[in-house]
Structure 1
Amino acid sequence: MSTSFALALSAAHDAAAGQHYPQAALYMVATPIGNLADITLRALHVLQLVDAIACEDTRHTQTLLRAYGIDKATGSLLALHQHNEVQGAQQVVQRLQQGQRVAYVSDAGTPGVSDPGARLAAAVQAEGLRCIPLPGASSVTTALSVAGTIAPAAQQGGFVFEGFLPTKGAERSAALQRLAQESRCVILLEAPHRIRELVQALAPLGCRPVTLARELTKQFEEISTHRAHELAAWLDGAPQRARGEFVVLLHPTAPQEDRTQGLDVLRQLLPELPTKAAVKLAAQLTGVPRNELYAAALQMKGEG
């Protein structure tokens, strides 16, 4: 443990110890997604306080705790991952019924979002027991905060969190086709060994902007936005770009019916106005992104 974290533990006690931490409660604790400093003071205090910690990987969590100078007996760490959620949840429920405080942490980030934890929370609440969230790091909101995803004019904002796509070919293709029709921002997660396959599958989206965020909060963090059909070329531009865990954001786009209307308006304006002026006016009238209309205008002129 570094001196910095020794000071953090002391600060955690000063800031959080005076708050109320009920017994017979499950504490869902967010942990860093890469940078160890991205831990909250309340999380440090609760991890010291609880009687047991349920976690995806006990070895990983023990290493994390030791980095912060938190000493927990091996027997107080309970394995609870996607392969034993039902049995693990019952073990946690039994401890809570005995009046214990139990924390749950995933390997990184906020439990229950994409990592295991949702079934555990549901099981605890089904027994009438309390589940207390401790907010913190999340790769989803971290990437979203810097991607600059802006919905076209007059379109509802928000985003759709899809997480990891199915790994089987047919199911994966069906999911991608469905998401291609989604006009809101779509957030995907992807592993390094499948990122090339994903960007190739996104290429038919053409000019739709896509942000790739990899190794978030780590030393080699990289966040880059490109048109969908340019992603494969960017990924091939340097070997390291395919390494690390990815958050992939499909930027908002106009709904299909608006795009059709935008193309119709553009087709009527092009014979009367210069290309840039026609594109600008069509975008203002229909809300379809200018870059999409400009690419369509060049294609129309070529065909003409």
Structure 2
Amino acid sequence: MDRFLEMMAAEAGAAPNTIAAYRRDLTLASDTLDGRLATADAAALERLAEEWRALSRATVARKAASLRRFFGFLIDEGDRADDPSPALPRPAAARPLPRTLGHADVDRLFAVVAERLATPLPNDLRLAALIELLYGSGLRATELVSLPRNAIHPDRPFLILRGKGGRERLVPISDRARAAVAAWRAHVEVDRAFLFPSGKGHLSRVRLFQIVRDLAAAAGIAPDRISPHVLRHAFATHLLEGGADLRALQSMLGHADIATTQIYTHVDASRLVRLVNERHPLVDALAAQS
């Protein structure tokens, strides 16, 4: 198991959070099979699947995917010649639509930020930079909190980011976001490694989550409706509403598969209907006839 996780980190470029998830899934499966996961046969995996029956489809799919990759590694390494993984369940994917915010909700968030910037404290400047980058650039929470101090240049409207899976992408940075970052960075010591420092490292994802929810409460938005990831979804949904190309959106979000990006087309279905009713060539023909 340790060799497999080392391979995932070194060769596949898996992030620490991904490695931790694989470790949990494999350890729990091994415990269920009395420490004999590596030698498990199809019958053992079927028993394991029975233990998962009460879990959600998404959780079962993740656990099964972890084990399939583990058995593939064992075969590649010559540790076993057969592959028992076909016995693992393949629950039908039922991807939910992402939670997002309307334009009015986003306006209320930024109204609170603007109010605090009238006579700002350092933490108000940090809040402005965080929210501008979450909604204005669609950064993932981990990507945002771990930004180096000088990652964003005042005269460059983009940054090159290494995100999930080690994939590099170009992230647009708006003039507003660059101005907010510059105002905040003036309060960050020059010897700090991160743009959003905390202790000896950087701001944690948990603290970012709390900051976003505190802002939502101040804006009169139910805190359970919002998170850093919801702001990322709002970034994507509102760009699509504005006419963004799906491939461009995929690139900005850092999705490896455009199928992941296509979920936003479902969120924006009402706009598509409106476009047909307003822009289809037959609309002009019908108007001329009338």
| TM-score normalised per structure 2 | 0.21
Q: Which has the higher strand share?
A: 1
| TM-score normalised per structure 1 | 0.21
